[in-house]
Amino acid sequence: LAQGFSCPFDPLPNRIMRVSIVIPSFVSAVEVGGFFTDPNHFQKGSFAGTRFISDEIGDAAGNSLTLIGSDDGKSFWSLNGTIVDKASGKISVDFSPKGGPSGLTGAFAGGQITWDDGNHWSQYTSPAFTLQEASSGASDVGGFFTDPNHYKDGSFAGTRMISDECGDTPGTRIVLVGSDDGTAFWMLSGEFVDKSSGKITVDFSPKGGPADLRGVFQNDQIVWEDGNHWSRMAMSNPKFDALI
């Protein structure tokens, strides 16, 4: 893995500068961002074994990868990687924060990531499930959220995955992967201002927003100071059988 892309991330300005000079504009690139399922952990009816992947920091595409996922449907972890060859879809991900290899390579093609260890993750361009508001009351901010300013039923537009864990280690840093149009998936980062009270701040400047948007997570919602609110969701009516 390229130095600087393992958890925790480098400061965003350095990363944006790096990706802006690595990928020439004429490269015909495979877009790896999206929603995936991992059959080694997938549990029908929950977000166990689901992953969001982004190759964009805000609205800037590059060669760094951010992954957020869950193995049990409750805890959501984050990992980092790189695109080794964007034209062919070859990638490398550091799974060491979860006790795995530090540079597991794979190839994204045909809507699937095939890993060198024999596993494969399947991509879905639209949800094979419906959503309902969660009522878990969990204090952990990690989860699957919807943003009503962008959400479109039947697509991944307005959906977000959030993690405060680098691999299996909880912390105060927050990572977000989401999509506003259901096609392009971006990452943003933030931190807890006060974890006990759920106060957070997120840097939305890579998407043209404020660099320090504050919010409060409680009762399965993030209420932002700009008046928006994101709701944590639970999966219902899964229809993965014919696809996974």
| 87-100 pLDDT per residue, tens | 999 999 999 999 99
Question: Residue 18: pLDDT above 60?
Answer: no
Sorted by sequence, the CB contacts under 8 Å of residue 142 that are 6+ apart come out as 70, 75, 76, 77, 162, 163, 164, 165
**Using an 8 Å Cβ cutoff, are 77 and 51 in contact?**
no
**Using an 8 Å Cβ cutoff, are 156 and 182 in contact?**
yes
For range 138-152, the mean pLDDT: 94
| 30-46 pLDDT per residue, tens | 689 999 999 999 998 99
Q: What pLDDT, on a 0 to 100 scale, did the predictor assign at position 8?
A: 52
Residue 194 pLDDT class (50, 70, 90 cuts): very high
Question: Residue 171: pLDDT above 80?
Answer: yes
Is the preceding peptide bond at 127 cis, omega within 30 degrees of 0? Answer: no
For range 129-154, the mean pLDDT: 93
Sorted by sequence, the CB contacts under 8 Å of residue 87 that are 6+ apart come out as 27, 28, 29, 30
Question: Residue 127: pLDDT above 60?
Answer: yes
For range 216-237, the mean pLDDT: 96
Least confident of 13-17, 60-64, 188-192: 13-17
Nearest to 144 by CA among 197, 224, 200, 70: 70
Q: What pLDDT, on a 0 to 100 scale, did the predictor assign at position 135?
A: 86
Q: What pLDDT, on a 0 to 100 scale, did the predictor assign at position 138?
A: 77
Q: What pLDDT, on a 0 to 100 scale, did the predictor assign at position 241?
A: 57
Q: Over pLDDT 90: what percentage of the chain? A: 80
Helix boundaries (H) for the chain: 12-22
Least confident of 56-60, 86-90, 138-142: 138-142
What radius of gyration, in Å, describes the C-alpha atoms of the chain? Answer: 17
Question: Residue 24: pLDDT above 60?
Answer: no
Question: Residue 15: pLDDT above 50?
Answer: no
In this prediction the pTM is 0.88
For range 63-77, the mean pLDDT: 97
Nearest to 179 by CA among 219, 125, 135: 125
Least confident of 19-23, 46-50, 106-110, 188-192: 19-23
